Amino acid sequence: MDLKKFSAQIRLETLKELKHRTFGHIGGSMSLVETMSVLYGDVMHVNPSDPSDPSRDYLVLSKGHAGPVLYATLALKGFFPVEMLKTLNDNGTDLPSHADRNKTPGIDMTTGSLGQGISAAVGIAKGLKLQGKNNRVFAIVGDGELNEGQCYEALIFASKHHLDNLVVFVDDNKLQLDGPTRDVSDVGNLDDRFKSFAFDTRRVDGHHEPTIKQAIHDALAVEGKPSVIILDTVKGKGVKEIENLTGSHHMRFSEEDNKILDQYIAILEGEINE
């Protein structure tokens, strides 16, 4: 699969989905586009016609507010019609703001209250180990999410239980809701922090598909301990006007914003149709 093209499709559908709803968690969705592309376009074994296929790999989007980018990816992958993306946050929708395992095909864990998804991910990894299964588990946390103490409980557990079937991603976009992570609640040197929890640690450009892909393959080859891939990312990536903007965590789009989004939508459509 052409991962660069898949990324463009995911970015396009995410923007269209959010623009249609007129508001949403755009910043932290955009920063994960390339990671979703690599995971679903190359690495993960999933089965859109049977989302609960027992041989599938698991993904827990611990930063559950990035639901829109996951929904776009799952739709493009065939878990449900792309048309359904327009129902994001509709009354009674199956695509709520935060990921929900009981509503959306292809979602393994309900998340949204930060810090909880990573615990579920280590539980899934432990459960698979207990059953002697080889499925892999991927968990995505935000750098802001790493303010939550529960994350560190989960890291201790993952190391203690040698969960080498688990790869944690940190979407290190350096911004949380109220501002730069270092100003709001500095999580320090993430690389050193994860190393101190005995994680196999690597940091990569989170917007370059071949680098992410290589990092995942390297992480999966590690035996006896869990891995983390710290993704150097840009919040709002791909929409210059909102990149690295504090207010991009959740935006309500003005008429001006809509014009900007339309420009990017047109550019992405052009790229994809080339």
Partner 1 sequence: MSKYIKEEKQTRELRKVYASSLVNMMEKDDRVVALEADLMSAITTNSVQAAYKDRLVNCGVQEANMMGVAAGLSVTGMIPFVHSFGIFVTRRAYDQLFLSLGYAQLNARIIGSDAGVTAQHNGGTHMPFEDLALVNAIPNSIVLEMSDDTMFEKLLEQTKDAYGLYYFRIVRKQMRKLYHEDQDFQVGKGIVLEDGKDATIVASGIMVEEALKARELLKEDGIDAAVIDMFTIKPIDEDLLVEYANKTKLVVTAENHNVNGGLGSMVTQVVSEKAPVKMRHIGVKESFGQVGTKDYLQEVYKLRAEDIRDAVKDGLK
If the CB atoms of residues 86 and 161 are measured against partner 1, the closer one turns out to be 161
Least distance CB 237 / partner 1 (angstroms): 29
Least distance CB 161 / partner 1 (angstroms): 8
Least distance CB 156 / partner 1 (angstroms): 7
Three-state SS at 263: helix
Residues that bind partner 1 (CB under 8 A): 58, 60, 101-102, 108-110, 112-113, 115-128, 130-131, 133, 149-150, 153-154, 156-157, 160-161
Separation CA 117–CA 70 (nearest Å)? 15
Least distance CB 157 / partner 1 (angstroms): 6
Q: Round to the nearest angstrom and report the end-to-end CA distance of the chain.
A: 16
Q: Exposed, middle or buried: residue 227 (CB in 10 Å: 0-12, 13-18, 19+)?
A: buried
If the CB atoms of residues 53 and 241 are measured against partner 1, the closer one turns out to be 53
CA distances (Å), origin 266, targets 132, 161, 218, 271, 272 = 48, 48, 36, 9, 10
Residue of 132, 122, 126, 13 whose CA lies nearest to 60: 122
Least distance CB 119 / partner 1 (angstroms): 2
Least distance CB 73 / partner 1 (angstroms): 20
Separation CA 238–CA 243 (nearest Å)? 7
- Amino acid identity of residue 191, one-letter, is D
If the CB atoms of residues 13 and 145 are measured against partner 1, the closer one turns out to be 145
Least distance CB 75 / partner 1 (angstroms): 22
If the CB atoms of residues 120 and 239 are measured against partner 1, the closer one turns out to be 120
If the CB atoms of residues 23 and 157 are measured against partner 1, the closer one turns out to be 157
Residue of 226, 60, 64 whose CA lies nearest to 157: 226
If the CB atoms of residues 41 and 144 are measured against partner 1, the closer one turns out to be 144
If the CB atoms of residues 6 and 79 are measured against partner 1, the closer one turns out to be 79
Beta strands 166-172; 137-142: pairing state: parallel
Half-sphere exposure of 170 (CA within 13 A, CB side): 28
Per the listing, tokens 């709803």 go with 21
Separation CA 8–CA 19 (nearest Å)? 16
